[in-house]
Amino acid sequence: MTSNVVTIDLSALRHNFKKIKELAEPSVRILCVIKSDAYGHGMLPVARGLESMGADYFGVFEAEEGVRLRDAGIRTPTLVFKGIGADEIPAVVEYDLTPGVFDLSITEQVSDYALRHGKVVPIHIKVDTGMGRIGVPWEEAPDFIKRLLHMKGVTPAGIFSHFSVADEPGHHFTDVQMERFQRVVATAHDLGIKNPLIHIANSGAILNQTGFEGHIVRPGIMLYGSPPSRMCPHRGELEPVMSFRSQVVQVKTVSPGTSISYGRTYIAESQRVIATVPVGYDDGYSRLLSNKGTVLIRGKRAPIVGTVCMNLTMVDVTDIDCVSSGDEVILLGKQGKDRITAEEIAEQIGTISYEVYCSIGKSNKRVYVGGDGGQRAEVRGQRSEVRG
Ligand SMILES: Cc1ncc(COP(=O)(O)O)c(C=O)c1O
């Protein structure tokens, strides 16, 4: 049995959802981004928790995730960000999913399929206002909308775009994107799309109080308790939802000159007490933490010494009294008065908290606490299940 456990605290998720509601204007609805297995937190338990809180919409990346939601009895309207491929059209129509669209040919195929099945599918038009990723280029949006309006099996129920630097307070490019977006929305209105749902604000925009002109905000990382970047004010006292713990498997005292782990990147300069923890990069605990990261044992920081291996990591516990095999090790989360955050780990390895959550969450057994009905679930390798 593994001693490594990721704990997902659903009460923290509910807390963060409430904080987002407080930060957004009262009339603004919330589209909760639960793509990528809810950033590694587990899409279904997270969706159930948020649905019970009154989430207005869910955002997933591809249709298959939406199908999993529906199969699990989750009925909240669900937007598929990626757009859809021809093979996903039946699922979108049959499972009442809302595709983000930016491709006329696919949208026409959705329309034809829907009409053949006696349905009209709501779509949200994805506009690229400067992210440069997916979406109808904003200059081409008027022509796109005109042609879309001839398709009788789809109805434009929303228009959305995505900010690229909203986490940087006061960045001029956010204003540029907002202005482009507003122009597209005004054009859509003139062309006859009267009451679409308008949305552009991600967590960065919510924390920096911009982009609320729309009707829905689209938070992801805030729900899970992290700000999108260091530049973003940590408003609203978010609570991290994920924690990750293990247990010491061995403690030994080593003499000066002893080397630890592959590559001998750490050599003890004096007598040290070294604890071995059965966690490594196979568990989503990055090898880039070698000789950099710290863990919490008995409420104190223990620095990683030597290279993080596939399944084992060594830490220096010389300054912590009485560490012994079986002691709890916190790799992410709180112990005593101290907390290791995903932001801290991200900074040590040159990435963002999003990646830390996805890597750790998807690689380990997850246990759910703080749910309304005392939910508990255990999952490993969720990603391969999602992608089937
Ligand atoms: C289209 C879209 N909207 C919203 C979000 C949520 O962003 P964040 O997690 O920064 O709030 C994402 C995340 O990548 C996204 O792709």
Known catalytic residues? 35, 262
The answer to whether the CB of 228 is under 6 A from ligand 1 is yes
What topology does CATH give the domain 242-384?
Lyase, Ornithine Decarboxylase; Chain A, domain 1 (2.40.37)
pLDDT of residue 234: 67
List CB contacts of 243: < 8 A, sequence separation 6 or more: 6, 7, 9, 330, 332, 333, 334
Neighbours of 384 (CB within 10 A): 9
* Span from the CA of 170 to the centroid of ligand 1 (angstroms): 19
Do residues 253 and 330 lie in contact, with contact meaning Cβ atoms separated by under 8 Å? Answer: no
pLDDT of residue 387: 26
Nearest-CA residue for atom 2 of ligand 1: 162
Residue of 78, 81, 124 to mutate, ligand 1, most atoms within 8 A of C-beta? 81
pLDDT of residue 3: 84
Domain 10-224, CATH:
3.20.20.10
pLDDT of residue 383: 37
* Span from the CA of 203 to the centroid of ligand 1 (angstroms): 7
Atom of ligand 1 at shortest distance to CA of 166?
10
**Confidence (pTM):** 0.94
Atom of ligand 1 at shortest distance to CA of 167?
10
Q: Is 112 exposed, middle or buried (0-12, 13-18, 19+ CB in 10 A)?
A: middle
Q: Is 388 exposed, middle or buried (0-12, 13-18, 19+ CB in 10 A)?
A: exposed
Q: What residue ranges of the chain are covered by domains with CATH 3.20.20.10?
A: 10-224
The answer to whether the CB of 81 is under 6 A from ligand 1 is yes
Q: How far apart are CA 332 and CA 226, in angstroms?
A: 13
* Span from the CA of 214 to the centroid of ligand 1 (angstroms): 15
Q: How far apart are CA 222 and CA 238, in angstroms?
A: 7
Do residues 41 and 361 lie in contact, with contact meaning Cβ atoms separated by under 8 Å? Answer: yes
And the tokens for 4?
A: 């490594």
* Span from the CA of 83 to the centroid of ligand 1 (angstroms): 15
Q: What residue ranges of the chain are covered by domains with CATH 2.40.37.10?
A: 242-384
The answer to whether the CB of 7 is under 6 A from ligand 1 is no
Measured CA distances, 213 to 178, 228, 370 (Å): 9, 21, 34
Atom of ligand 1 at shortest distance to CA of 204?
10
The answer to whether the CB of 162 is under 6 A from ligand 1 is yes
Residue of 41, 124, 162, 234 to mutate, ligand 1, most atoms within 8 A of C-beta? 162
* Span from the CA of 225 to the centroid of ligand 1 (angstroms): 14
* Span from the CA of 218 to the centroid of ligand 1 (angstroms): 7
C-alpha 296: how far from chain center: 25
The answer to whether the CB of 219 is under 6 A from ligand 1 is yes
* Span from the CA of 137 to the centroid of ligand 1 (angstroms): 19
Nearest-CA residue for atom 8 of ligand 1: 220
pLDDT averaged per 10 residues in sequence order, the chain, 388 residues? 91 96 88 98 98 97 98 98 94 97 97 97 98 97 97 97 93 96 96 94 91 85 94 80 98 98 98 98 98 98 98 98 97 97 97 98 96 56 34
Neighbours of 15 (CB within 10 A): 17
Residue of 218, 229, 343, 358 to mutate, ligand 1, most atoms within 8 A of C-beta? 218
Atom of ligand 1 at shortest distance to CA of 218?
4
Q: How far apart are CA 294 and CA 287, in angstroms?
A: 13
The answer to whether the CB of 33 is under 6 A from ligand 1 is yes
The answer to whether the CB of 203 is under 6 A from ligand 1 is yes
The answer to whether the CB of 202 is under 6 A from ligand 1 is yes
pLDDT of residue 235: 62
